[in-house]
């Protein structure tokens, strides 16, 4: 009781005043049993292959393939981080609308990866373009580089398709 006889209510508990995180995907290893978890694993696998294949082609067109490398490496690490957040259960500790973040992430990466796929396909299509190097005409891409770029283009398409499927699933969770 205070001096005037009225009691002062206790301060509100801050842990109760924040809403719980909004996430419909399971946390922990159970994420791997969902379609979304499987697609994220495929995004990491195929995205890593795109990264490795483009790097192994010696990047003959740095303006085009530099963007492909940037997108594939960035998406690879952010997908690893995204999966790690769910596997570790941190999504239940961080107050956020995870359904929206899932949708926004996959939408952004889908758009960038689609552009990267188109640039890699364009770089691969320049196989027969001849350039003048030291007074001799040589193809822009050697046969080995061409084959590597074809594989990179196929895996970039597969990665884009996985991000598109994840985007569709995220949209269904975000806007039921």
Q: Where are the domains of the chain?
A: 27-127+139-172
pLDDT for res 68: 92
Rounded distance between C-alpha atoms, residue 171 and residue 110, angstroms: 13
| Helices (H), ranges, the chain | 14-17, 35-56, 62-88, 98-125, 143-174
For residues 155 and 72, is the Cβ–Cβ distance under 8 A? no
CA dihedral 70, 72, 73, 75 (to 10 degrees): 110
pLDDT < 70 stretches in the chain: 1-6, 11-21, 128-140, 176
Joined together, the tokens standing for residue 122 give 């364009």
């Amino acid at each position: 009781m205070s001096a005037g006889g009225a009691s002062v209510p206790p301060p509100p508990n801050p842990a109760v005043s924040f809403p719980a995180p909004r996430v419909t995907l399971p946390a922990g290893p159970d994420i791997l049993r969902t379609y979304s978890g499987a697609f994220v694993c495929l995004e990491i696998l195929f995205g890593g292959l795109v990264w490795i294949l483009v790097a192994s082609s010696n990047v003959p067109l740095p303006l085009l393939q530099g963007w492909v490398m940037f997108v594939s490496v960035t998406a690879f690490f952010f997908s690893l981080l995204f999966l790690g957040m769910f596997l570790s259960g941190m999504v239940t500790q961080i107050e956020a609308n995870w359904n929206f973040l899932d949708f926004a992430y996959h939408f952004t990466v889908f758009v960038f990866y689609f552009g990267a796929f188109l640039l890699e396909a364009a770089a691969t299509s320049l196989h027969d373009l001849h350039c003048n190097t030291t007074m001799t005409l040589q193809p822009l891409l050697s046969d080995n580089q061409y084959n590597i770029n074809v594989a990179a283009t196929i895996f970039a398409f597969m990665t884009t398709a996985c991000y598109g499927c994840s985007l569709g699933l995220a949209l269904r969770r975000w806007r039921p």
